[in-house]
């Protein structure tokens, strides 16, 4: 198969369309936001300081004069706060607005005189985190506008209406459907909460006040035992039993068998939690759908800037990657996104294809795209395309792209575009990696071995520390249903930690030896059909295509990308792929050490740790 991109017919290219060359594309990339503004960092800063601020804030004191009732305002503020964290990544403009409201409310909600206590360390930390988050959001908005201007300059005066099949390009239907369902649950939660509150208010109005002495307290159960001459002994539920020591007096409301503290006549926390967990994703879907539909509408409202580019789809990756028109080696992707194919009969909406295609047509199209991959299963063959719109993070774009057979294809983004970091050349090369790998093989054909690298061990240690802390917290108060669930999940936890810290793959004359968490598996060479590195794991196909052995996790791809390095697992998969297809290159000697599974030892250590927490602390 030729290494040239699949060409796009000249009649499919609007007159005057310029190629987006690598030099202009690199100017566009340079105009993007810096690493300090990546959404992950302000998310972590806001989350940590908000939790700290909430933990330090005093609990509200319920009194007979000012009883605790429904707190819809507090739930609304909490919804905005959580929604702001959700919007940080995809919608910086909306997140900036939510940031102002949520942080201001969090600083003021516990100040009785209306002025925040800025001297509190947690409040200062929260304010600094908010300022940092605001700076990153503004920086990303400015950079997005700058990237649009750079792309507009590269396109020059070339403009064209969207292809006919994309003239009705819309987004948001699925988002609106999900938002409607979730927000309906939110409305029901408010209605039901108010209904319960009204019923309790009516009962409170006809209840008789009484006073009783606290004779017992169950902090874990949230109950008090009270006694009076008129009522006898009763158990009542309270939010904070520790606020009512034994011997103190408690004001009550009595209506027959119904007895409640006067300071806490009813509790609607369940409905308030339902409102929170339904409104946050509901509003996220709603805002996402509105933004996507608005951007798509602006794109089709008038002739859009056009540029000639290259598109690529990689095996085991559902995203489409955008490259400059002269990036024939596919080494420097610019954006990644999911797309939907559009035909004259219909249009896509949020992942739903209304084109009316049959299953056979879908299979034919997928087969055409699969043909773009070379025999080695590496990076795909590129396709020429025309880009409609101005590329930037979160953009809605339309493409007319080429296929090997069947003519041009119109594609619309089905997810917001995301910036893509340049990839190492050997991860995108369309050539088989045999030459480089063969040169690195030992001439003596000795057994080869790969084991956990620094990234894998850092990930394993992180999981180990979090798990140890979780076990300590779960079992600290003795046995409960939570401790039973935790115990049932212990094998999965031990498996992940043991694999990350101690995985090993050995290739010798007899085949592959894969050391996982619990045992060492041997796979003869005749049974190995394929080897791949997907995500953070190694997959070895054996027998039928659906039958495979997995080692996971074998690394930390997020850390490797930021350090600009390749993981040991990637090197192992690439070398093994060559050995599978070239028997003459396989080792000629047997390995003496195949690895030692760490899972049983970790499980024993976890049981010992749990026993220490249960019986010694």
**Helices 269-301 and 173-206: angle between axes, nearest 10 degrees:** 150
Residue holding tokens 């940080």?
88
Do 217 and 224 touch, CB atoms closer than 8 A?
Answer: yes
Mean pLDDT taken over the chain: 78
pLDDT of residue 445 exceeding 50: yes
Model-wide pTM > 0.75: no
Residue 405 Cα distances to 9, 367, 371, 398, 486, angstroms: 12, 10, 10, 21, 54
Q: Give the pLDDT confidence score for residue 479 in this predicted structure.
A: 55
- pLDDT attached to residue 365: 45
Nearest to 598 by CA among 474, 455, 464, 484: 464
| DSSP letter string, 362-402 | HHHHHHHHHTTB-TT--SBPPEEEEEES---TT---EEEE-
CA distance 609 to 607: 5
**What's the CA gap between 578 and 543, in Å, rounded?**
18
C-alpha 146/C-alpha 27 separation (Å) is 10
What average pLDDT does range 251-261 have in this prediction?
77
pLDDT digits (tens, 9 = 90+) for 197-235: 887 777 777 777 888 888 887 777 677 788 877 777 877
Strand, coil or helix: 233: strand
* Of the candidate ranges 3-12, 522-531, 568-577, the one whose mean pLDDT is the lowest: 3-12
The better pLDDT of the pair 102, 500 is held by 500
Cα distance between residue 533 and residue 316, in whole Å:
10
3-state DSSP assignment of residue 563: helix
Of 298-302, 389-393, 417-421, 606-610, where does mean pLDDT reach its minimum?
A: 606-610
Phi and psi at 418, nearest 5°, equal: -125, 140
Look at residue 162 and tell me whether its pLDDT is greater than 70.
yes
**Percent of the chain surpassing pLDDT 70:** 77
pLDDT value, residue 142: 93
């Amino acid at each position: 198969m030729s290494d040239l991109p699949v060409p796009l017919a000249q009649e499919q290219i609007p007159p005057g369309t310029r190629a987006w060359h690598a030099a202009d594309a690199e100017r566009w990339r340079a105009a993007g936001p810096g690493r300090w503004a990546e959404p992950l960092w302000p998310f972590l800063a806001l989350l940590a300081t908000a939790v700290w601020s909430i933990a330090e804030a005093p609990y509200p004191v319920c009194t007979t004069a000012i009883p605790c009732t429904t707190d819809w305002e507090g739930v609304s503020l909490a919804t905005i706060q959580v929604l702001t964290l959700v919007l940080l990544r995809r919608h910086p403009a909306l997140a900036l607005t939510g940031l102002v409201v949520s942080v201001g409310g969090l600083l003021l909600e516990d100040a009785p005189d209306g002025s925040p206590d800025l001297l509190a360390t947690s409040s200062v930390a929260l304010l600094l985190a908010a300022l940092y988050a605001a700076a990153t959001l503004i920086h990303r908005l400015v950079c997005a506008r700058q990237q649009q201007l750079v792309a507009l300059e590269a396109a020059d005066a070339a403009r064209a209406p969207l292809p006919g099949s994309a003239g009705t390009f819309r987004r948001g239907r699925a988002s609106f459907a999900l938002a409607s369902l979730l927000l309906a649950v939110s409305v029901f939660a408010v209605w039901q909460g108010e209904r319960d509150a009204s019923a309790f208010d009516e009962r409170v109005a006809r209840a008789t006040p009484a006073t009783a002495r606290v004779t017992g307290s169950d902090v874990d159960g949230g109950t008090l035992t009270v006694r009076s001459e008129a009522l006898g002994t009763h158990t009542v539920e309270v939010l904070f039993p520790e606020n009512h020591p034994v011997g103190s007096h408690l004001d009550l409301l009595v209506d027959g068998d119904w007895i409640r503290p006067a300071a806490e006549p009813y509790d609607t926390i369940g409905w308030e939690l339902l409102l929170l967990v339904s409104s946050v994703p509901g509003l996220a879907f709603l805002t996402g759908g509105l933004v996507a539909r608005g951007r798509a509408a602006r794109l089709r409202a008038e002739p859009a800037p056009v540029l000639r580019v290259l598109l690529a789809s990689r095996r085991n990756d559902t995203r489409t990657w955008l490259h400059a028109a002269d990036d024939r080696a596919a080494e420097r992707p610019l954006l990644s996104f999911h797309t939907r194919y559009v035909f004259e009969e219909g249009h896509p909406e949020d992942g739903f294809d209304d084109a009316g295609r049959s299953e056979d047509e879908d299979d034919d199209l997928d087969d055409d795209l699969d043909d773009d991959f070379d025999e080695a299963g590496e990076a795909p063959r590129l396709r020429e395309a025309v880009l409609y719109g101005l590329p930037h993070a979160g953009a809605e774009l339309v493409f007319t792209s080429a296929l090997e057979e069947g003519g041009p294809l119109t594609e619309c983004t089905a997810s917001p575009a995301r910036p893509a970091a340049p990839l190492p050349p050997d991860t995108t090369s369309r050539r088989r990696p045999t030459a480089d790998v063969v040169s690195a093989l030992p001439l003596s054909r000795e057994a080869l071995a790969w084991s956990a690298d620094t990234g894998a061990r850092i990930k394993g240690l992180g999981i180990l520390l979090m798990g140890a802390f979780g076990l300590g917290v779960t079992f600290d108060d003795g046995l409960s249903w939570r401790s039973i669930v935790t115990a049932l999940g212990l094998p999965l936890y031990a498996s992940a930690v043991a694999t990350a810290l101690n995985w090993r793959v050995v290739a010798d004359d007899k085949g592959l030896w894969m050391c996982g968490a619990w045992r060492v598996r041997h796979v003869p060479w005749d049974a190995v059909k394929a080897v791949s590195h997907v995500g953070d794991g190694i997959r070895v196909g054996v027998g039928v295509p659906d039958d495979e052995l997995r080692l996971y996790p074998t690394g930390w791809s997020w850390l490797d990308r930021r350090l600009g390095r390749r993981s040991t697992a990637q090197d192992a998969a690439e070398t093994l792929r060559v050995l599978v297809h070239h028997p003459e290159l396989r080792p000629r000697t047997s390995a003496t050490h195949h690895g030692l599974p760490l899972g049983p030892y970790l499980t024993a250590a976890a049981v010992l740790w749990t026993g220490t927490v249960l019986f010694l602390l």
